[in-house]
Amino acid sequence: MSVDTMEEVAQGRVWTGKDAASRGLVDAIGGFSRAVAIAKHKANIPHNKKVCFIVLYICAQWLSSLINL
């Protein structure tokens, strides 16, 4: 789905999983483990192979100052 089509369908709304799936906005319904399984499949990583996750984030300076009010 192109970005333009996605924006037209999604309309900036928050959708439930089932509603998003019926509109083609998500690949599958599921949680984090399902997302990992799909990613492993697409990357040709065996399903029983353990993977390591690294969380990367940048704390916006304005957000830090807001939290510390």
pLDDT, residue 12, reads 86
pLDDT, residue 6, reads 87
pTM here? 0.56
Instruction: Please give the average pLDDT of every successive group of 10 residues along the chain, which has 69 residues.
Output: 88 88 88 91 95 78 66
pLDDT, residue 44, reads 97
pLDDT, residue 37, reads 93
- What's the domain count of the chain? 1
User: Domain range for residue 60?
Assistant: 3-67
pLDDT, residue 68, reads 66
HEC per residue, the chain: CCHHHHHHHHCCCCCCHHHHHHCCCCCCCCCHHHHHHHHHHHCCCCCCCCCCCCCCCCCCHHHHHHHCC
